[in-house]
Amino acid sequence: MTKDPALDHKLSPALFHPRYWLTWFSIALLALLAWCPVRLRDALAASFANLVIKISRKQCYAARLNLQLCFPALSHAEREALLYRSLCVGLKGFFALGEPTFLPPSLFLRRIKPNGWEHVEAAKAAGKPIIFMIPHTWTIDACGLYFSGMGLQMCTMMHSARNPVYDWFLNRQRVRFGGKVYERSAGLKPIIKDMRNGYHFFYLPDQDHGHDASIFVPLFGVPKATLPALPKLTKLAGAVVLPVLATYNEKNYQYELQIRPAMAPYPTTDLMADVSYMNSEIEVLLKNHPEQYMWFLKYFRSLPDGTNRKYVPE
């Protein structure tokens, strides 16, 4: 029998080695923060934003470069304000990282508000597997659990975390309500098989995977190395694509999903147009929520001439 390539979420005794005790202590803190009053926890998280800007020099350099590329019309002060807002959202999301694991399922799911759920119902009524096309935002993990929590069979692909304890913690959390998580190196074959067997796919479209695997299409007017996998996968699985943004509403202290109508017609016979359409949907999703995006990722590292953009300060 062929071994299932989905990640194994069993707790290995090796994870209790003394070198990981500090990691376990941090997870215990996340458990406490999960039950902390949300307003208090958010205020505590935001109080670290200026410190993070000072000490995370490389990450903030990458974020500033991305913001300059994507929003050249903004002034320096406006981009700095956007960076600060994004870090506040990110810190609030991080301080709440224990909620999906340590809160009761019903309480946690009530923390998430779906906007546009009728598009999910329409896709289900059509009897097609759904590809949720969802770019990297700070609360993507928490919000993503809503789909499986609502009874959808889900699968997704992730890179393993460097720390094996955090890797176990995060991936166990991701399958709390069922579903499967694959290491990205497993490829698309198990995903296609799952979708043909009734699963839906949680697809992250926006990272830079290098020149060889990508084609260059604009994102915010900037040529970006973009995987052409979505239109191919959609066709092979007979799926429908719903663009989704995972957000955190700082005013009402609630997670929210912004779900857009299905991409149509999709796919077409024009691969470049299909991939451009995907990136344009990412722009639409982020238009009113730019502070939600993980701007520190190296989205524009690969350049069309075969070289790489430097994401480190001189």
pLDDT at 11: 86
Of 269, 276, 310, whose CA–CA distance to 64 is shortest? 310
Residue 152, token pair as written in the block: 């959808």
d(CA 245, CA 143): 9
Q: What are 157's strand-pairing partners?
A: 182
pLDDT at 2: 45
Across the chain, which has 314 residues, the per-10-residue mean pLDDT values are 60 93 97 98 98 96 98 98 98 98 97 97 95 97 95 92 92 91 89 95 95 96 97 96 98 98 97 98 97 98 97 85
pLDDT at 313: 84
Rg over CA atoms, the chain? 19
Contacts of 66 (CB under 8 A, 6+ apart): 295, 296, 297, 299, 300
pLDDT at 1: 39
Q: Which amino acid is at 72?
A: P
Contacts of 213 (CB under 8 A, 6+ apart): 227
Q: Which amino acid is at 204?
A: L
DSSP 226: E
Contacts of 296 (CB under 8 A, 6+ apart): 56, 59, 60, 62, 63, 66
- Count Cβ atoms within 10 A of the Cβ of residue 5 and give its class: 0-12 exposed, 13-18 middle, 19 or more buried: middle
206-231 as b/e: b if 16+ CB within 10 A: bbbeebeebbbbebbeeebbbbbbbb
Of 294, 293, 292, 251, whose CA–CA distance to 38 is shortest? 251
Residue 157, token pair as written in the block: 């692909």
DSSP, collapsed to helix, strand or coil, labels residue 223 as strand
The two beta strands, 130-133 and 215-219, are unpaired
Residue 247, token pair as written in the block: 């957000």
pLDDT at 4: 58
For the chain, give the number of residues: 314
